[in-house]
């Protein structure tokens, strides 16, 4: 489970180890949970991830977040034809995660025994995951979250084809466990037709990424919003092709 903390006034406190720690203690190990981290500070490990390191040391947290993308935040309202932000908004107009920050974070996580949960926002950052893995900077197996967003307009429009494009960036020799999260409720509406995979997605286990996803046509988009889709990339072409169907639920 991934969550953001807020204070008593309702303000997000993305780097607050005290609030996160209280929540982890209340969970008492019953939930595998991890926090967010602030983007409105310089992207160094100490500035952004100190709370994660403290949560590991004092509260036994097991996994921790890391985004590998540096992207513009483009808020697009297609109905109103409104685009934002058009004025500088430090910390909120660009999501910055430089390669030195990513490499440093992975090293620190490894030192303290934290398993990174990697987030990619566009196809290029999924390609970066493959490069980090092949360079030995990111240890395998990789836990990867692929974000498909309608707004912010980051990466391709959410669709089964977009997911497949992400998965094509992951070589078959890389051991990657992936999950799709975020805003997917527009898939069927934008397509103007029943969307393949709106209620169910079949993931082929052990096949090469280009053949990983086989979609199943269904009527409508009931239960589509927030539906997580899971799978496994990597393995060998001769490995098992058994299928697993994932339905419903909310993003972790």
Tokens coding 91: 């910390």
Cα dist. 10→5, 7, 13, 85, 252 in Å?
9, 5, 9, 23, 22
Give the mean model confidence (pLDDT) for residues 206-231.
33
**Per-residue pLDDT tens digits for 219-239:** 222 222 334 456 666 432 223
**Per-residue pLDDT tens digits for 161-185:** 899 999 999 999 999 999 987 654 4
Structural element, H or E, at residue 35: none
**Per-residue pLDDT tens digits for 41-59:** 999 999 999 999 999 999 9
Backbone angles phi, psi at 145, to 5 degrees: -105, 125
Instruction: State the chain's mean pLDDT as an integer.
Output: 76
Residue-by-residue DSSP string for 68-93: ---EE--EEETTTTEEE--S--TTTS
**Per-residue pLDDT tens digits for 6-26:** 888 888 899 999 999 999 999
Query: What is the distance of C-alpha 225 from the center of its chain?
Result: 16
pLDDT score of 183: 55
**Higher model confidence: residue 234 or residue 152?**
152
Confidence of residue 3 (pLDDT cuts 50, 70, 90): confident
| Residue (of 5, 113, 117) closest to 60 by Cα position | 113
In angstroms, what is the C-alpha Rg of the chain? 18
Residue 85 has pLDDT above 50, yes or no: yes
Cα dist. 214→156, 163, 184, 201, 210 in Å?
19, 11, 18, 7, 10
**Higher model confidence: residue 117 or residue 234?**
117
Residue 190 has pLDDT above 50, yes or no: no
pLDDT score of 98: 96
């Amino acid at each position: 489970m991934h969550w953001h903390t807020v204070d008593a006034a309702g303000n997000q406190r993305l780097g607050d180890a005290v609030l996160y720690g209280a929540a982890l203690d209340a969970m008492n190990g019953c939930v595998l949970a991890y926090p967010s981290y602030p983007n409105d500070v310089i992207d160094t490990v100490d500035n952004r991830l100190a709370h994660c390191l403290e949560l590991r040391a004092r509260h036994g947290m097991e996994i921790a977040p890391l985004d590998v993308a540096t992207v513009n935040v483009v808020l697009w309202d297609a109905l109103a034809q409104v685009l934002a932000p058009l004025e500088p908004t430090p910390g909120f107009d660009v999501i910055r995660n430089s390669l030195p920050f990513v490499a440093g974070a992975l090293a620190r996580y490894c030192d303290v025994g934290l398993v990174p949960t990697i987030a990619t926002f566009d196809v290029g950052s999924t390609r970066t995951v493959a490069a980090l893995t092949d360079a030995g900077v990111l240890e395998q197996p990789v836990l990867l979250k692929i974000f498909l967003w309608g707004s912010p307009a980051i990466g391709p429009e959410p669709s089964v084809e977009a997911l497949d494009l992400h998965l094509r960036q992951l070589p078959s020799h890389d051991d990657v466990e992936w999950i799709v999260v975020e805003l997917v409720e527009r898939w069927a509406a934008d397509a103007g037709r029943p969307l393949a995979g709106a209620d169910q997605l079949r993931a082929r286990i052990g096949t090469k990424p280009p053949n990983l996803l086989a979609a199943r046509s269904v009527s409508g988009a009931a239960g589509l919003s927030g539906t997580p889709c899971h799978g496994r990339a990597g393995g060998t072409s001769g490995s098992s092709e058994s299928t697993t169907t994932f339905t419903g639920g909310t993003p972790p």
